[in-house]
Structures are given as structure tokens and as C-alpha cells.
Chains A and B, each alone.
Chain A
Amino acid sequence: MGNIKVTVNHNRCVGSQLCMHFLPDVFDLDGNGQAIVCGLDDTDVTTLVQTAEQCPQCAIKVEDESTGEVLFPPAELGM
């Protein structure tokens, strides 16, 4: 696995907390009730992508920094 980067777009996040429930070690809430990434530890990339998929707002982006590839959201969602 390359360098995986996970970001939450706060112009999209509505604070559904789903990411936090699916991956409590990776996601937390900030003082505004929006999701933040608190650390990826050894979470595998498939789990990260599956969790990003659960976001109703497509606010979570998963990228492979070493290749620049966006692993989520897929291009066909037009996000």
C-alpha cells in the first residue's frame, strides 16, 4: 500500500457521524459536529474506501499520494 491520504470536505460534511460509527479509530467529530480524520493507523485501504462510500454527502476523499490516484469518490459520481 502506498501513502494513503484521507480528507473530509467540510463544505460537504453534514455531521451524519456514519464514518465515525463505521471506523471510530479513524474518524472523530470536531467542535462543529463535522468529521475529522484523527489517524489512519494500519487501517487497510479497502476498509477506508468502504467507509468513505457510506458518507451520504460524498464528503470523504481517499487518495493514494504516491500515485495521485483518487480511490474514492469514483469519477462517475461527478463529485
Chain B
Amino acid sequence: MTTYLVKDDLMAPEVIADPHAYYRALRETDPVHWNERWKGWVLTGYKEVVDVLRDAENFSSDRMGYLASELTQEEQESIAPIFHVLKYWMVFRDPPEHTVLRMLLNKLFTPVAIERYRPMVRKIVQKTLDKVVASGKMELIRDFAYEVPMTVILELIGAPDLDRDKIKEWSEAIGVFFFIKADEPRRREIACEGINSMVEYIKPLIEHRRENPGIDLISLLISAEEAGQINYNDVIATCVLLVFGGHETTMNLIANGTLALMEHPEQWEKLRNDPKLLKKGVEELLRYDGSVKSTVRWAKADVMVGGKQIKKGERLLVSLSGANRDPLQFDSPDDLDVTRDPNLHVAFAHGIHVCLGASLARMEVEEAFAGLINRISCPVLEEESYLNYYPSVVHRALKNLPIRFDQIK
């Protein structure tokens, strides 16, 4: 067993660089592992992960509730914006509140509902590529992977002119709270500033939509509020969630997927020769190196998982990346195979909290790769550059991806 496994250090540089090796070692030795350092269980086996994610009766997602229970009243007040906004995020709520919000919002994100945005996304992909392909090189994240989902989500909320640099900055600040640098001492304060700024920026937009309703997502949230289905806090929090969640994870998915294909050029060629494979290919990129490595649950009761006794109140780090490479579920799980079928991965989680934006992300990533494979050769990493990931237990996020390629004319 490697040293970092003994130390239970989920943030060790080698774990951040190659989480799959770490989770493989853990899955092979102890798929339901008590991590003494994190003071919680780490689940890396597919069956155990799926069992927990599909069991909302025994496992809670009420992150803010559990956080509140760990803090004094004074500490809670010092980070009030986090509580005021994030406790209304659907992802951190349990039934029955979760069910009401999910059933309402789900209608806007079904595969059929999302399909109508495909022509718009296709245009955005082409316009974004128009700016960079001729030069034969780009920083893929900055020039493409970030541009596409950010433009799409701003279109969907009906606000294409919002200041995307500010939104990016605030999103990163909010991300500090969950994703990046669990050891950053000011992480909660940084997140508060980000949330406050984003809320203040979005509020006038909500009021503008109230006066001038359209067919955008904000207008639909307002009409649900006016019909008494949700309240104003839900509207604000959901807008923040859509903007925040609408670009970051998709951006990372495009970047991780590009890198995976760069490392498997024969798979890039398969997609190029048969674009019909793109749907399956995107599922495989999600499985192989998705943008969310893990999610957290809290036991609501004493419950057995994979032969281990989990006690009420204990937390569980549910490793989506670990489950997605489990050989008991996937043949040759460490191989990238764009024809893999079936492919019931857990990249968007399973159960009631399965990603609301999954259909949007799938369609955007399909269009992104359709654009890439048609316009450029399989890229290679820019000389003298190296891969560097943000230190995060949750996100699989490259800092940048400088690439070279030939333009296909």
C-alpha cells in the first residue's frame, strides 16, 4: 500500500495528479474505507456508490444543515450569505423540498427540452472555433472549453451581455467553498464575497425579467414563484446555481475529454470516422475522466454499506471516479472505448440528485467534440508544457491545456 493511502491524504499531489490510481488502490483493498484524516467514509466500489446514491431515505444531502450543526451561532452568522443562498440549492436539499423543486425545474432540462438549443450551441461552437483554429494552437480551456458553456448558460438565462469575467471570478470564489483548497483558511469568507457579489448582480436581472418576461430560465422561475410553487429565495439561489453550475463542470468535461482523446488518438479517429459514435463517446469521456470526482452524503440512520457499519451522522465521500473504473461493473475499466455500450456510469451521480443539467451538458459536449473533430486534427500538448490540476477532492479540473493541431480545411 502506498504511503499516501496510509496517510489518507486526499489532497496529496500524487492523488490530485492521478486520482484513478489512488481510488483503484483503495477499491482493491478497502472499498468502504474509514478515512481518519477526513473523518468520514470513502466509497470507491460501483455497487456501494450506487447503493448510497439511490438511497435518499438513509443518506442525506443536507450539507448546510450538517455544516450548521458543526458551527456556533456566531460562526454561522459570520458566513450568513453561504447559508442564505446555498441552503436553497436543490443539490443540498432532501425530500420533500427537493422533490418539489426538482419536478418543477426538471421540465426545463429534459432531453427533449434541451434538444431545441442544439442549433444555438452548434453556432456558438463554430464561432468560438473560428477565432482560434487558423493559428494551429490554443489554450483549450480559455479559448474553447470555457467560452462555449459560459456563452450557452448566459443565453439560456436570457442575459448574453452579463460580464462573464466577473461571473467567472465569483464562481471561482464560490467554488473555493466546496471544491478547491479545503485547507484554505479563508475559504468561507472568500465564498461569502463571491455569493454576495453574484446575488447583487443577478437581483436586478430578476426584477427586469419580472417586468419583461421572456422564455428564458429566469422568467420561468419567476412564473413558478408567482404561482406559489417556489419562493423568492429559491429563485435567487437557483439563478446562482445555474450560472455557477452551468459552466464550470461542463468546461472541465470538455477539457478532460480532449485530454483523454489526445492520449488515445485512435479513439479520436474513430469519432472522426463515425460521428454517430459521439453520443456513446461522450458517455465514455464522462466515465473515463468526468469533471466531478466525488459527492458527499450524511447517514441519517445506522446503516450497513458493503459490510461496514455506518453510524448515524457520519459522512461519506462517494467517489464517482472510483465507481466509474470498477472492473466489477465495466470491462477493462481503465481503457477508453468510445463504443462502450452499455455504459451506466455515475458521472452525473445516480438517484434523486442526478445532475439536473446532465442533458444540457451531454448536448454541449457532443457539439463541442463534433466541432473539434471536424475542424482540427487530434491535438498534441504544447511543447514544454505540463498538466497541472487544481487541488480539489471534488473537481477534476485542469488549470490549462495548451495544445497544437492542424486545421482541417
In the complex, whether A77 has a CB less than 8 A from a CB of chain B is: yes
Q: Is B106 a contact of A77 with CB atoms below 8 Å? A: no
Q: Is A33 a contact of B110 with CB atoms below 8 Å? A: no
List A contacts of B51 (CB < 8 A). Answer: 33
Q: Is B103 a contact of A73 with CB atoms below 8 Å? A: no
Q: Is A53 a contact of B112 with CB atoms below 8 Å? A: yes
In the complex, whether A66 has a CB less than 8 A from a CB of chain B is: no
What distance in Å separates the Cβ of A51 from its nearest Cβ neighbour in chain B? 11
Query: Please, how many angstroms separate the alpha-carbon atoms of A73 and B107 in the complex?
Result: 15
Q: 9 closest A-B pairs (Cβ-Cβ)? A: A33-B54, A11-B342, A15-B54, A14-B350, A16-B354, A14-B354, A15-B351, A53-B110, A58-B111
Quick one: which of A11, A18, A56 contacts B111, CB cutoff 8 A?
A: A56
New A-B contacts (15) at CB < 8 Å, excluding given A14-B350, A33-B350: A11-B344, A12-B342, A14-B54, A14-B346, A15-B53, A15-B350, A18-B103, A32-B54, A33-B351, A56-B111, A57-B358, A73-B111, A73-B112, A76-B115, A78-B276
List A contacts of B34 (CB < 8 A). Answer: none
The contact string, 1 if C-beta is below 8 Å from chain A, for chain B 105-145, is 01101111001000000000000000000000000000000
The contact string, 1 if C-beta is below 8 Å from chain B, for chain A 1-37, is 0000000000110111110011000000000111000
Query: Please, how many angstroms separate the alpha-carbon atoms of A21 and B276 in the complex?
Result: 34
Q: Is B358 a contact of A77 with CB atoms below 8 Å? A: no
List A contacts of B207 (CB < 8 A). Answer: none
The contact string, 1 if C-beta is below 8 Å from chain B, for chain A 49-61, is 0000111111000
Whether A21 contacts B111 in the complex (CB less than 8 A), given A14-B354, A16-B351, comes out as no
In the complex, whether A39 has a CB less than 8 A from a CB of chain B is: no
Query: Please, how many angstroms separate the alpha-carbon atoms of A56 and B228 in the complex?
Result: 25
Q: Is B351 a contact of A14 with CB atoms below 8 Å? A: yes
In the complex, residue of chain A having the shortest beta-carbon distance to the beta carbon of B359:
A56
Q: Is A21 a contact of B103 with CB atoms below 8 Å? A: yes
In the complex, whether B279 has a CB less than 8 A from a CB of chain A is: yes
Scan residues 364-401 of chain B and give those whose CB is less than 8 A from a CB of chain A.
none
The count of residues in chain B whose C-beta lies closer than 8 Å to any C-beta of chain A is 30
Q: Provide 14 A-B residue pairs closer than 8 Å at the C-beta atoms, listed in order of the A residue.
A: A11-B344, A14-B350, A14-B354, A15-B351, A15-B352, A16-B354, A18-B102, A18-B103, A33-B54, A53-B112, A56-B111, A58-B111, A77-B111, A77-B115
In the complex, whether B332 has a CB less than 8 A from a CB of chain A is: no
Query: Please, how many angstroms separate the alpha-carbon atoms of A12 and B354 in the complex?
Result: 12
Quick one: which of B107, B111, B352 contacts A16, CB cutoff 8 A?
A: B352
Query: Please, how many angstroms separate the alpha-carbon atoms of A54 and B50 in the complex?
Result: 21
What distance in Å separates the Cβ of A3 from its nearest Cβ neighbour in chain B? 24
Q: Is A74 a contact of B54 with CB atoms below 8 Å? A: no
Q: Is B55 a contact of A56 with CB atoms below 8 Å? A: no
What distance in Å separates the Cβ of A53 from its nearest Cβ neighbour in chain B? 5
Quick one: which of B279, B352, B355, B358 contacts A78, CB cutoff 8 A?
A: B279
Q: Is B350 a contact of A18 with CB atoms below 8 Å? A: no
List B contacts of A54 (CB < 8 A). Answer: 106-107, 110
List A contacts of B231 (CB < 8 A). Answer: none
Which among B102, B107, B111, B352 has the highest number of chain A CB atoms within 10 Å?
Answer: B111
List B contacts of A22 (CB < 8 A). Answer: 103
In the complex, residue of chain B having the shortest beta-carbon distance to the beta carbon of A72:
B112
List B contacts of A73 (CB < 8 A). Answer: 111-112
Query: Please, how many angstroms separate the alpha-carbon atoms of A78 and B283 in the complex?
Result: 14
List B contacts of A34 (CB < 8 A). Answer: 54
